[in-house]
Amino acid sequence: MKISVIIPVFNEKETIEVILRRVLGANKKECPICEIIVVDDGSTDGTKDILTRIAAESTQPPVKILIHSRNQGKGAAVRTALGHINGDMVLIQDADLEYHPEEYPLVVKPIVEYGADVVYGSRFLGIHRAFLFWHYVGNKLLTLLTNVLFDSMLSDMEVGFKAFRTEVIKSTPLHSRGFDFEPEITAKVLKRKLKLYEVPITYSGRDYSEGKKITWRDGLTAIWTLIKYRFKD
């Protein structure tokens, strides 16, 4: 089964080359990557120039660059990428070095071996940087709300490291444009009773001085999104 890796990017000039080199290095026999699709979501810091150079250098697997003329949000970037994928599986990789491409085999294993439809890499089951207490509390509250609303037992709803069978994510109607993509896709996966697995991952979280973009406002949006999609599609 071939993997399409989607990388949404917005103003990540300090990390984008490192993460792309690591994703390219993850293309191995046990984890065959057929393409890397990077969506530059209106970056203004020179990220686009770095992407253009790396795409010209890389052919196996090819690095495909899609450009948003203005910033639209993570959800919009993922939705743009989904219109261009060719793999049997889709893996979403953030560009900020918080998640490790070296763990792709672990994340896709439940799809390949156990018939999973969706796999979440859980930050709270694996090795993780211990900091940002209130961010941790917010994540736990959102995960608890998810489990109550959808009768599930997730440990980490908001994680950005996810893998899907291509037909599953392509057949799921998505509307969110920003970080509310995460609660929307989770709500719809659980509502459809898809086979969702969790695996422990390594999480190298960064703080706001290092460029972290999610704030408490995104938490409020996530709450509304979970409740909304509990009762509508």
Residue 85's contacts (CB-CB under 8 Å, 6 or more residues apart) are: 4, 6, 35, 37, 166, 170
Full set of structural domains in the chain with CATH: 3-132+158-178+190-211 (3.90.550.10)
Helix (H) or strand (E) holding 75: helix 74-82
Write out pLDDT tens, residues 120-177.
Answer: 999 888 776 666 676 778 788 999 999 999 999 999 888 878 999 999 999 999 999 8
Answer for the pair 34, 4: CB distance below 8 angstroms, yes or no.
yes
pLDDT score at 211: 55
Rounded-to-integer distance, Cα 83 and Cα 23, Å: 21
Rounded-to-integer distance, Cα 222 and Cα 216, Å: 10
pLDDT score at 208: 56
pLDDT score at 232: 79
Mean pLDDT of 22-28: 91
**Is residue 67 very low, low, confident or very high in pLDDT (cuts 50, 70, 90)?**
very high
Q: Which of 232 and 172 is assigned the larger pLDDT?
A: 172
pLDDT score at 3: 95
Judged by DSSP in three states, 165 sits in strand
Verify cis geometry, omega within 30 degrees of 0, for the bond prior to 32.
Answer: no
Answer for the pair 157, 190: CB distance below 8 angstroms, yes or no.
no
Please give the share of the chain, as a percent, with pLDDT higher than 70: 93
Mean pLDDT of 82-98: 93
Dmax of the chain from CA atoms?
Answer: 48
Task: Evaluate if pTM is beyond 0.85.
Answer: yes
Q: Which two tokens stand for residue 171?
A: 């057949």
Pairing mode, strands 89-92 and 3-9: parallel
pLDDT score at 233: 76
Rounded-to-integer distance, Cα 149 and Cα 157, Å: 12
Among residues 1, 197, 182, 192, the alpha carbon closest in space to that of 92 is found at 182
pLDDT score at 136: 75
HSE, side-chain direction, 13 A CA sphere, residue 185: 29
| Burial call 12-43: b when 16+ CB within 10 Å, e when fewer | bbbbbbebbeebbebbeeebebbbbbbbbbbb
Answer for the pair 14, 211: CB distance below 8 angstroms, yes or no.
yes
Write out pLDDT tens, residues 170-211.
Answer: 999 999 988 889 999 999 999 999 999 999 998 886 565 555
Among residues 147, 146, 123, 134, the alpha carbon closest in space to that of 201 is found at 123
